[in-house]
Amino acid sequence: MTTPPRRARALALIAAVCATALAFATPVALADEIPLAPGHRLVDHYQGAPATPRPVPGEAPERHPYLAPNGRSGMHADGAGSGTHPFPGPLGRDPEVTSEKIAPLGGECATVTFDSAGRLLTVCGTFSGFLLKLLDPRTLDTLAEYRLPQRSSTVEAITRLDFERIFKDTSGGAYFYLDDRDRVVLADSRQHILRIAHTQGTNGAWKFTVEDDWDLTSLVPHDCVSWTNLFPSGVCDPVTSVMPDWDGRIWWVTRLGRVGTVDPATGALRSVRLDGEEIQNSFSVAEDGVSIVSDHALYSFRADADGTPRIQWRQTYDRGTGTKPGSVNQGSGTTPDLFGSREEYVAITDNADDRMNVLVYRRGADVPAAERLVCRVPVFRSGASTTDNSLISWGDSLIVENNYGYENPTSLTFGRSVTGGVTRIDVRPDGSGCDTVWESAVRSPSTVPKLSTVNGLLYSYEKQPNALGIDAWYLTAVDFRTGRRAFQRLTGTGVAYDNNWAPITLGPDGTAYVGVFNGIVAVRDGA
């Protein structure tokens, strides 16, 4: 009997990860390290040379009054979604790699934030549910843990042997933010928004405490698959992401196009529906509004006096004719970037069939429709261009990477890689259009890259093709000005080191953290 393709992919994934975890497990003393697959002695561990720090000129996005400081608050580093950090990142001086295995299978830690003392707050996905964890920034030891409800996609994956549901599910707490009082704010898989604090007791032990719990189920359909509800008859609409606006309201979006707010003072809930549209990405916030992209259009919202979301403007884009390999859905894969030396632009990518375009718009509410588009720049090669990661923005510059060909951790096994490519685009000083500054051949399959504004290095997570079938993963640093590689450091080999859409995050102490399939990796200079 022929095995169905989806079941075959699921079984292949299970076999690959279990082989890594069991056959090549490390000794008991090193049990928390992510195991290396065979071949790590046959690949270069370091290439290039240490970089000289060269800060990039420009002003950081304005600090959001209800978020932790820039660089510490969320997946995209700040409210504007810039993907930049005011921390140095490793320069490639004898870089050291450490890791933390979170679970026997899975355990990827995606969003990483930093409290005021530099401790890591992250949500890690396991097959038994998401875990909110407080980690020591040097040792990666777990200081505290809070178990979140299991996502319906995990139950579906296990019961239906369709693991692609997990890898393309952005709900359940994967997108969260750290507020201005070091509290985690997230939406769990029950359609509840939680605000969670962490405190240290007199005995030195840390713990998480839920301070607030806002139930959205009066506004959001919630007949979801669970172990006690395997065959639901209704609609399940997972909450994708949460962010605060400049007035302190908590905004939330759902996969099936609901946009809503919570008033933290009163608990009042308001929402609207974008009929027939899907939201899989996070969103960005500045003083002039909330920018959300669906699989059909880019929106700017504000809240009415009672908190009801109101559209300021809407801009459709070319969504193509289908979902490309390397995209979660048929639409833009980017969280909007609010940027510009005068903070006047918003950028996304489209999903045009032949070549994806970087789109830059003027974001003022009073901009005439005919003048909203600044530029449409095609990127990467014909028939092989898409991204499902946010752009990086600094000043009038944008960085975009190509994720075409990546689907899940089974996509790149046996030495395979993606088409790749990273491009820098600058808006002209007079706003008359945009120009391509450089193009790089870096192959970064699925990471959210980051820019250190204090050393001028762009960090990606790279995998090159390997004729021996070795799956080697590298932290790669690129010069922001020229696009040239500075150095590469091997993080590990095998499926367990695939980052599977998780970001790179630069810490206050200069460490680069990468969420990977089996946990989290840290790279820092050793000299």
Low-confidence winner among 61-70, 77-86, 193-202, 402-411 (lowest mean pLDDT): 402-411
Using a 10 angstrom Cβ sphere, with 0-12 exposed, 13-18 middle and 19 or more buried, the burial of residue 368 is: exposed
Per-residue pLDDT averaged across 68-93, rounded?
98
Helix (H) or strand (E) holding 15: helix 5-23
Residue 73 is which amino acid? S
Please check the confidence at residue 275 and state whether its pLDDT lies above 80.
Answer: yes
pLDDT at position 343 is 87
Per-residue pLDDT averaged across 74-101, rounded?
97
Distance, in Å, from the CA atom of 202 to the CA atom of 133, rounded to the nearest integer, reads: 20
Q: Which has the higher per-residue pLDDT, 197 or 169?
A: 197
At 527, is the pLDDT very low, low, confident or very high (cuts 50, 70, 90)? Answer: confident
Residues whose CB is less than 8 angstroms from the CB of residue 15 and which lie 6 or more positions away in sequence, other chains included: none
Please check the confidence at residue 27 and state whether its pLDDT lies above 80.
Answer: no
pTM: 0.93
pLDDT at position 162 is 72
Using a 10 angstrom Cβ sphere, with 0-12 exposed, 13-18 middle and 19 or more buried, the burial of residue 315 is: middle
> Is residue 390 a contact partner of residue 76, using CB atoms and an 8 Å limit?
yes
Please check the confidence at residue 217 and state whether its pLDDT lies above 70.
Answer: yes
Q: What is the pLDDT of residues 90-104, one digit of tens each?
A: 999 999 999 999 998
Using a 10 angstrom Cβ sphere, with 0-12 exposed, 13-18 middle and 19 or more buried, the burial of residue 145 is: middle
Using a 10 angstrom Cβ sphere, with 0-12 exposed, 13-18 middle and 19 or more buried, the burial of residue 410 is: buried
Per-residue pLDDT averaged across 416-420, rounded?
96
> Is residue 230 a contact partner of residue 165, using CB atoms and an 8 Å limit?
no
Residue 506: CB atoms within 10 A of its CB come to: 29
> Is residue 482 a contact partner of residue 495, using CB atoms and an 8 Å limit?
no
Percent of the chain past pLDDT 70, that is, above it, reads: 94
Residues whose CB is less than 8 angstroms from the CB of residue 309 and which lie 6 or more positions away in sequence, other chains included: 251, 259, 260, 261, 270, 271, 272, 290, 301, 302, 303
Torsional class of 325: left (φ above 0), alpha (ψ -120 to 50), beta (otherwise): beta
Per-residue pLDDT averaged across 85-91, rounded?
97
Write the secondary structure of 104-133 as one string of H (helix), E (strand) and C (coil): CCEEEEEEEEECCCCCEEEEEEECCEEEEE
Per-residue pLDDT averaged across 126-153, rounded?
92
Helix (H) or strand (E) holding 154: helix 152-160
Please check the confidence at residue 164 and state whether its pLDDT lies above 60.
Answer: yes
User: In terms of CATH architecture, what is 5-524?
Assistant: 7 Propeller (2.130)
> Is residue 211 a contact partner of residue 219, using CB atoms and an 8 Å limit?
no
Q: Which has the higher per-residue pLDDT, 1 or 247?
A: 247
What sign does the dihedral 48-49-52-53 (CA atoms) show? positive
Residue in this structure with the two tokens 């092989």, named with its chain if needed: 384
pLDDT at position 31 is 39
pLDDT at position 369 is 93
pLDDT at position 28 is 28
Please check the confidence at residue 523 and state whether its pLDDT lies above 80.
Answer: yes
The phi, psi pair for 235, rounded to 5°, reads -105, 140
Q: Where are the domains of the chain?
A: 5-524
